[in-house]
Amino acid sequence: DPTNLASHLPLSIGYLPQYAAFHEGVTVREALDFGLSLRMPISVKQQQRQEWLASIVQLTGIDQLLDQSVDTLSGGQKRRLALAEELLGDPQFLFLDELTSGLDPNSELEMMQWLRNLVDQTGKTIVLVTHAVGNLNHCDEVLFLCKGNLLYAGPPRQLINHFGLSTIEELYASAESFEPRPIRDTIAQPIEPAALQTAKPPAGIFQLATLLKRQFLLFARDKGQVFLHLLLLFSFPFLVA
């Protein structure tokens, strides 16, 4: 039950929206360090934390970007960074919204191959919402929806043949003419649930300390804000008087 997981084991579910938000005044390394402090329990020793961070960096292929400022990253690099941040909590389930949208064909292919390798290496379950259909062969199952109605559920290689068409473009053009498929027909035989290896994030007070530290760092690097606050600090008494 996703609701129970979100409330009792929040780190078991990872969600990445189409446009991830970053504080662009930090480096990739700093962004990951802050993300780790917000997700990993405080009881984990520093050496273990750094080893886990190093493994995520290697897994996502961003080791050459660690000292680069976030605001200089390309769109594909930012999405890899966003994925790395979500993987810091080691979620068993990853929900990705339009992760490959807007990427050039080569970047899209690399991202789909990377997601395929991630599933093969870790056994995670990934649900990807996408309109980019050129690399669906890397998926195990495809659900094709039209206006919220399920039209197909099955292997990607059978998607076009199921509708008696020859191209995916034809399917998009004529999707509204097909009858929806009952959801109950797509539900597979339930499997025995397995225990999730996860934990709760740090207590709120520790997360607050991390957020304050990050905010202070961002403020200190914004010379315009520092100058403005100093100007107000010294000029305010004269203005009041």
Question: How far is C-alpha 50 from the geometric centre of its chain's CA atoms?
Answer: 21
For residue 167, count other CB atoms closer than 10 A to its CB: 9
Higher pLDDT among residues 172 and 226, named by residue: 172
The H-or-E segment that residue 152 falls in is strand 149-154
State the average pLDDT over residues 34-39.
86
Average the pLDDT over each of 25-29, 31-35, 57-61, 236-240 and give the range with the smallest value.
Answer: 236-240
pLDDT digits (tens, 9 = 90+) for 209-220: 888 888 888 777
DSSP secondary structure string for all residues of 105-142: HHHHHHHHHHHHHHHHHH--EEEEE-S--TTGGG-S-E
Active site residue 98: yes
**pTM (2 d.p.):** 0.71
State the average pLDDT over residues 217-234.
72
Q: Which pLDDT band holds residue 188 (cuts at 50, 70, 90)?
A: low
Of the residues 30, 51, 86, 98, only one is catalytic, namely 98
State the distance between the two ends of the chain, measured CA to CA, in whole angstroms.
62
